[in-house]
Structure 1
Amino acid sequence: MPIFKLCLKIFRKNWSSIGVFLVIFVSLSCIFAFSYSQSSLSKGFTQERAKVALISKEKTPLTEGFRMALAKNADFVTLPDQTEKMQDALFFRKVTYILVIPKGFTKDALNDGTMKMEKRVVPGSAENAYIDSIVRQYWHLATVYAAHEPNLSETQIADHVKRDLSTSTPVVMHDQHAASADSNFITGYFNFVAYGLTIVMIVGIAAVFIVLNRQDINRRIICSPIHSISVNLQIFLAIIIFALFCWTGFSGLGIFLNLKNQITAPIGYYLLNSVVFTLCLSSISYLIGNLVSNRQALSAIANVIGLGSAFLSGAFVPQELMNQTVLKIASFTPTYWYVTANNRIAGLGAGNWAETKSILNDMAIVLAFAVAFLILSLVIGKRRRMYA
């Protein structure tokens, strides 16, 4: 099997560069997985409390009620009523929101007056938007009660507004793929593997074809008594061995790091999904090897394909946060279906076994990509041999 031995010899010759890629991307996968699991530990909404300075030049039942309403979502900071002090406090972020209630504001507001409160804020502060909402809501309710119930005193209006604002609606957040922190780690790891494995496979396999497609070597292979089918089979066997080596390097570390959590995370599905994806990458690398003859351009092409597909498909950013148009474009890449299957597998850790069929469908689509790329590679390879 001379072609097979030649391919292995090329792999060994390029081992130093491939090994560097392998170590770098395995390390990056671990770092990404740890950060992914930590960011996914708590799924929910927590209201940020703004640092507010409320300076009221009058003391009425409504202004006191307004202060109590703000206290639910703000931390009060005491400031003197001096412009320079206020500006300094905003600049050094001691406060993000300053509100000054002028004397006579309550009576003016209840009578549809034009008097305004003085507001100073830190630009772009997200928590200030919620404070603005509370301010508008409180005084709007107060003016509504004053307009429709003119016999109510300020104390009664303040009590009614307090009662209305105390009403709350419970919110329950449902995650599409409920998963534990352990499952989040292994999901993040295998999702990021899509990036590293793509680059390592393309660089390693395409390098073989750059050598085999050299005119002198290609002509020697054509003139040899070895049948073209045997040549392709020997190349396929060498590629499978190399792919198995790369897959073992990436997946083996993932299994080791998640050794204590094998029960909570269905590791077998992750491994099967990664095997299918590795086969698809072998076909893609085979195709690129038949198209590229410049070794210097190979790394650039591998990075473009690896980074591009990873960003579009949700390997770095959760698919739930991505634009639907981007995801539709990404669905034309096998990486998208690989990541989608991983996200579904994460839900299996919570006992949702009904998604098994969808996971297998995603894997079948990746296999279909592999077959399509392989057929295209064989056609292009045959044309290259004809015109060698």
Structure 2
Amino acid sequence: MTVYRYFLKVAFKNKSIILMYTGIFFLLTLITGSGGQTDESRFVSTKLTLGIVDKSGTALSKGLSSYLSERNYTEDISEAADEKGLKENIFLEKIDAAVVIPEDFEETVLRKQEAVMIYSDQRKPETVQVKNQISKYLVFANATYQDGGFDLERVSGALREESEVKLIGGGSKNGGADAWFNQYFNFMSYVITAIYIATIGYVMSDFREERIEDRRKISSVKLSKFNTEVYLGQLTVAVAITSIFILGAVVLRGGDIAKVDFSKYMINTVVFSFSILCFTYLVNNMTRNRFIKNGISNVFSLGMAFISGVFISQEFLGKGVLAVAKFFPTYYFIRLNNRDASSIGDMGYELAAQLAFAVLFLTIGLMLSRRNSRAN
């Protein structure tokens, strides 16, 4: 087992790569997880700073202004009542939105047309609630219109009524543990990919040097035995690296393992690691240059992380991006992590896809290896 021991020795010399990626990974994990996971069980409205320009002066417009003032902060912007002035105040962030109530406000409300002009800060998505608040008030006001007038007291009373809502489904049932494990293992795919290609690639660059090849050819060690020990060394390094991250999850959130489907993450990680190990074998047969391997490590791992859902959730990625991501195993690893799976059968498609990529990478790698052997 001389070759095997030497492989591990060379791999240990490159421990700085493993320590760097591992240290960054766990540091980011501690930072992002330090605030804990909390579940919001009710909708919380954000108070905005509003500018209200009431050109109508009717009881209905004053009632709307009062209603908006109860739910937001209001500013006097009478000096900037024109469109240019309102937009300037919004741009300078003096106000979040402006509401202009026209003179024919009541008539427009009765016709059920757009009754007010709203200027909002498009940089703040929460300003959409201003339109919702106005629409809500006017719907209630129209419902009370009778005998030529609005019953604003009934409107105010109806709007003050609150309903107790009890959530019976959805949301996190385990204090955010599943969200933490999901984020942890998703990000781990990026780190594993980078470490595998860089570390094992560096070691194989040493083994593929001409002087090492010449010494192997004149030695009594058979090529089959040499390759077997090299592959065993690669497998050992891969298992050690993956075990570090799995144990890291146990150490950081061991008390929450029973709350999540930890077996799903374990099985998915093992299959994904095997797929990336096969890809690393392909890269090692494509080039001996360690600088090229380092470039592939950075570009491939980061590229897959961006288009497969590691840094940006898959639900927010475009169809074109996801179509490209489907040609790589990381996509299926993230997809399985993001959904519920109670049995191996439920995980079959994603696991089979990752194994198919592993076979493909291994087959191409073997073809390149034979071609390189004949060339030598």
Q: Does 1:323 align with 2:318?
A: yes
Residues 54 and 76, structure 1, Cα contact 8 Å, conserved in 2: no
| CA–CA separation in structure 2 for the residues paired with 1:235 and 1:115 | 74
Change (3 A) 1:110 1:200: closer
The total of aligned residue pairs comes to 371
Moved more, 42-51 or 230-239: 42-51
What pairs up with 1:1-388 in 2 under 5 angstroms? 1-32=1-32, 38=37, 41-42=39-40, 46-67=44-65, 70=68, 74-79=71-76, 81-83=78-80, 90=90, 93-101=93-101, 104-106=103-105, 109=108, 121-122=120-121, 124-132=123-131, 135=134, 152-155=147-150, 180-344=175-339, 347=340, 353=342, 356-388=344-376
- 1:22 deviates by 2.8
Change (3 A) 1:141 1:286: same
Moved more, 124-133 or 169-178: 169-178
| CA–CA separation in structure 2 for the residues paired with 1:30 and 1:332 | 32
Moved more, 177-186 or 201-210: 177-186
- 1:29 deviates by 4.1
Change (3 A) 1:159 1:236: same
| CA–CA separation in structure 2 for the residues paired with 1:52 and 1:139 | 18
Residues 47 and 73, structure 2, Cα contact 8 Å, conserved in 1: no
3-state SS in 2 of match to 1:262: helix
- 1:324 deviates by 3.3
- 1:384 deviates by 1.0
Please report the TM-score for the alignment, with normalisation by the length of structure 2: 0.81
| CA–CA separation in structure 2 for the residues paired with 1:80 and 1:361 | 60
3-state SS in 2 of match to 1:258: helix
3-state SS in 1 of match to 2:78: coil
Residues 39 and 171, structure 2, Cα contact 8 Å, conserved in 1: no
Residues 61 and 154, structure 1, Cα contact 8 Å, conserved in 2: no
Query: What letter corresponds to residue 3 of structure 2 in structure 1?
Result: I
Residues 99 and 119, structure 2, Cα contact 8 Å, conserved in 1: yes
- 1:243 deviates by 0.9
- 1:123 deviates by 5.0
Change (3 A) 1:111 1:200: closer
Moved more, 331-340 or 49-58: 49-58
Greater RCO structure (CA 8 Å; 6+ sep): 1
Residues 99 and 117, structure 1, Cα contact 8 Å, conserved in 2: yes
Change (3 A) 1:6 1:328: same
- For structure 2, list consecutive stretches of 5 or more residues without a partner in the other structure: none
Residues 198 and 302, structure 1, Cα contact 8 Å, conserved in 2: yes
| CA–CA separation in structure 2 for the residues paired with 1:165 and 1:54 | 20
Give the alignment's Cα RMSD to 1 decimal. Answer: 3.9
- 1:45 deviates by 5.8
| CA–CA separation in structure 2 for the residues paired with 1:359 and 1:280 | 16
Residues 195 and 310, structure 1, Cα contact 8 Å, conserved in 2: yes
Identical counterparts, % of pairs: 24
Query: What letter corresponds to residue 64 of structure 2 in structure 1?
Result: F
| CA–CA separation in structure 2 for the residues paired with 1:109 and 1:324 | 43
